[in-house]
Amino acid sequence: MGEVNFTFSDTIAGYVAAFHRSERSFSLRTSDGREFRLFLTPTTYARKSQNLDEGYIDATGQMGELLSEGVPVYAYCIFYPAEQGFRIEAKSLIFPGDQAGSYRHEESDWWPRQVRSIADSYLRWQFNYPQEPIEYHNYRTFLHLAGGKKGDYLQETDTISRLVYGFASAFLLTGEDRFLEAAEAGTEYLREHMKFYDADDDIIYWYHGIQVSGDREQKLLTSEFGDDYDSIPMYEQIYALAGPTQTYRITGDPRILEDIEKTIELFDKYYKDNRQGGYFSHIDPITLDPRSPMLDKGNNRARKNWNSVGDHAPAYLINLYLATGEKKYADFLEDTFDTIEAHFPDFENSPFVQEKFYEDWRHDTTWGWQQNRAVVGHNLKIAWNLLRMNSLRPKEKYVALAENIARRMPLVGCDLQRGGWYDVVERLREPGESHHRFVWHDRKAWWQQEQAILAYYILYGCLGKPEYLKQAREAAAFYNAHFLDHDDGGVYFNVLANGLPYLMGNERFKGSHSMSGYHSTELGYLSAVYINFLYTGQPMDFHFRPRPRGFRENRLRVAPDLLPAGSIRITAVEIDGKPWTDFDPDGWTVQLPDSERSLRVKVTLTPVCRKGD
Amino acid sequence: MEIQVQAQGSLTVVVLTGEIDGKTAPEVQSRLLPLAENGRKLVLDMQKVTFLSSAGLRVLFLLNRAASSGSGKIFLTGLVPELRDTMSVTGFLKCFQLFDSQEQAVEALR
């Protein structure tokens, strides 16, 4: 074994333990308490985390003050072999805040501004807005790093739906008309071009997408993705509802609700396993049978997975419940989380949940790329959504599982040296292995950071344990320091373990199947909600545009998420710019006036108390 | 369900007779998908198709996609007014290239 007697560079994330002014060095304590001595050089430079659409914030001249005890910092260093180990010289520093316990991403308007910027970038990239109108015929699935179109003519249902979700979320936070216009136009486009109404069963399913060629379009009934080829995967049907549902929360357009209801009919009729619980992951495109031998081609016959069982909740079902208050959707959510709690934990064998199943819930450890592997973000997503559900129908088992995951994940899924959360790892360690092995790489994907940020902020907001706040802050600080693309807009897909963007192949794109403004805006929307309402105690405004005779009983439901009862109140409502008093402050509803046109509704929600009060 | 397949030069003409529904659609799929995938132009004579369910429509979409993945194409001929109306109302008609009759299709595509 050769000696490590060469130089290399890497990031250390931590908290300043001491600044040694005379030596031009400082001690940095990592999240898990290990300490490193770092030396400054004449060319070391520093910046503070900046938001999208915000200028560079140089902090080089302030390093002396910023390097004080407890201040969080990311130090990109060069390691020089020395007599005893290494001499570590910091070449650049990023400060997420300017004092101990201060984080820029906890500023009350940080996340709404970020969401606005991301949504504006997609308006510009996809439609050349505002120079040209918002026309989804011009939408393309793939966008280069700088937003340029790649030349494909594919329009994927899910990808449009995800972007629609982003626009709708941007409107909810800002009330700016262009975002609602984009959300409604996208929803209409999905309805006209991507929807298959099955008159035989009175159900709806959604095409995988269309190939656009001039004025002609070819419908793609089955998935074009390798994992799902020649089938109709549940995952795609679920995400087809993400954007329209978020738009429905704003407008109450009954046509959207009808589409959603008929798609849920599809789920109940063909995907649901009424005998053994849960939902199948794929159905045959002709017979709609989840047990069809045709599905053997993709190893998808009679299988269940995280996406088919659990993704209903974050993708559309929670938002549908928030908009309608319907008991049947609360029941559906409860069944979803009871099923997750019953079948996903596998802590006797692995710190990670089991994600793939046969129809009788035996563990499937043979499927495709997943084998016996864990997606770190799925574990965090379960913890996050269990806490949401616990506000709707509290159960001790929801909190217990969420906390069990939350306690285990930092030790096996988080990079405690550099910050950030990993991607896919082996669920089991081989004898002698100290770390779960990375399946492909040790890069960090943007959406997995999202799951950690939301999981730990809501855990802290609901349960108040300081270790969750620490994880939440570290995850959000890493994301905001490394994932924002200040040159071209939007966020990066992946960064290397050290936080530098990874810009090769598919991961260079801004508009791929999974990007498309969904996770980044969901993160922004819900981070604003959790941080302002459950932690820092800041009020927020939300914007709606209910249509005439849209919402049932003319009642607008304005809960921004499933939050603990009594945690927030409506403190003001304006309709068309004038104060309106007919609202239930603790039931989070507004009784709308009769109107023949859409109303502009602004609702101020105020947290009842802040943590620590 | 009856399926007659005839090669006519570079074209394959398929005469379908009966109802294409959830029961018969898998048979149509298994017989015609290999033809659609081999890159030939496929003329589906629908004159004697009396009913087309959603499962039947889904088969048509699959065939269309399979054909266009290679150098093939699908053409529909002889749709009876009821089927044409159903496909028109539900927006499916514009997804396919149509001819009034098998003869017209064969003539135009030679």
Together in a domain, A149 and A191? yes
pLDDT at A297: 87
Interface contacts A/B by beta carbons within 8 Å: 46
Q: Mean of the pLDDT values across residues A268-279?
A: 98
- Asked whether residue A307 is assigned to any structural domain, the reply reads yes
Together in a domain, A525 and A551? no
List Cβ neighbours of B24 (8 Å cut-off, separation of 6 or more): B1, B18, B56
pLDDT at A243: 98
Cis peptide before A130 (omega within 30 of 0): yes
Alpha helices, H only, A281-368: 306-310, 312, 318-324, 327-343
pLDDT at A514: 79
Together in a domain, A72 and A126? no
pLDDT at A610: 66
pLDDT at A156: 94
Judged by a CB distance cut-off of 8 A, whether residue A220 touches chain B is: yes
Tracing tokens 């498309």 back to the chain, one arrives at A516
pLDDT surpasses 80 at A214: no
- Asked whether residue A528 is assigned to any structural domain, the reply reads yes
Together in a domain, A529 and A567? no
Q: What's the number of domains chain A is made of?
A: 3
Together in a domain, A278 and A143? yes
Q: CB distance A287–B64 less than 8 Å?
A: no
Cα–Cα distance between A123 and A133 in angstroms, integer? 10
Closest alpha carbon within chain B to A231: B62
Q: Mean of the pLDDT values across residues A198-226?
A: 87
pLDDT at A500: 98
- Asked whether residue A2 is assigned to any structural domain, the reply reads no
pLDDT at A611: 66
pLDDT in tens, chain B (110 residues): 899 999 888 889 999 999 999 999 999 999 999 998 888 889 999 999 999 999 999 999 899 888 888 888 899 999 999 888 878 877 788 788 899 998 888 888 77
Q: CB distance B95–A217 less than 8 Å?
A: yes
pLDDT surpasses 90 at A406: yes
State whether the Cα torsion A147-A153-A156-A161 is positive or negative.
positive
What's the Rg (C-alpha) of chain A?
24
- Asked whether residue A613 is assigned to any structural domain, the reply reads no
Q: Which of A503, A536, A569 is the last residue of a domain?
A: A536
Which residues of B are less than 8 Å from A286 in CB distance?
A: 25-26, 29, 55, 58-59, 62
CATH number of B62's domain: 3.30.750.24
- Asked whether residue A237 is assigned to any structural domain, the reply reads yes
SS3 readout for A557-580: ECCCCCCCCCCEEEEEEEECCEEC
Q: Mean of the pLDDT values across residues A48-56?
A: 98
pLDDT surpasses 70 at A52: yes
pLDDT at B85: 85
Together in a domain, A181 and A309? yes
For the ranges A177-181, A503-507, B45-49, the lowest mean pLDDT is seen at: A503-507
Q: Which of A479, A504, A536 is the last residue of a domain?
A: A536
List Cβ neighbours of A235 (8 Å cut-off, separation of 6 or more): A228, A281, A307, A308, A311
SS3 A49: coil
Q: Which of A520, A536, A552 is the last residue of a domain?
A: A536
List Cβ neighbours of A41 (8 Å cut-off, separation of 6 or more): A89, A90, A91
Q: Kindly report the average pLDDT of chain A as a whole number.
A: 96
Together in a domain, A112 and A76? no
Q: CB distance B65–A201 less than 8 Å?
A: no
Q: Mean of the pLDDT values across residues A345-363?
A: 98
CB neighbours of residue A107 within 10 Å: 16
Q: CB distance B25–A198 less than 8 Å?
A: no
Q: CB distance A221–B53 less than 8 Å?
A: no
Together in a domain, A466 and A547? no
CA distances from residue A158 to A138, A207, A590 in whole angstroms, order as listed: 16, 9, 32
Q: CB distance A221–B61 less than 8 Å?
A: yes
Q: Mean of the pLDDT values across residues A261-265?
A: 98
SS3 readout for A517-552: CCHHHHHHHHHHHHHHHHHHCCCEEEEECCCCCCCH
Per-residue pLDDT tens digits for A155-165: 999 999 999 99
Task: Give the pairing type, strands B97-99 and B73-77.
Answer: parallel
Q: Mean of the pLDDT values across residues A295-317?
A: 96
Together in a domain, A443 and A571? no
Per-residue pLDDT tens digits for A580-612: 999 999 999 999 999 999 999 999 999 997 665
Together in a domain, A259 and A374? yes
pLDDT at A613: 52
Together in a domain, A367 and A310? yes
Residues A507/A139, Cβ–Cβ less than 8 Å: no
CATH number of A244's domain: 1.50.10.10
Closest alpha carbon within chain B to A222: B62
Residues B72/B40, Cβ–Cβ less than 8 Å: yes
Residue percentage of chain A with pLDDT more than 70: 99
Concatenating the DSSP letter of every residue in B36-96 gives HHTT-EEEEEEEEEEEE-HHHHHHHHHHHHHHHHTT-EEEEE---HHHHHHHHHTT-GGGS
- Per-residue b or e along A295-311, where b marks 16 or more CB atoms closer than 10 Å to that residue's CB: beebebbbbbbbbbbbb
For residue A553, give the H/E element and its range: none
What's the Rg (C-alpha) of chain B?
13
CATH number of A83's domain: 2.40.50.140
Query: A360 falls in which pLDDT band (50, 70, 90)?
Result: very high
Together in a domain, A219 and A313? yes
Range of the domain at A75: 8-102
Range of the domain at B44: 2-109
CB neighbours of residue A175 within 10 Å: 18
Per-residue pLDDT tens digits for A93-140: 999 999 999 999 999 999 999 999 999 999 999 999 999 999 999 999
Q: What's the number of domains chain B is made of?
A: 1
Of A264, A247, A237, the closest CA to residue A188 belongs to A247
Residues B78/B101, Cβ–Cβ less than 8 Å: yes
Cα–Cα distance between A221 and A243 in angstroms, integer? 20
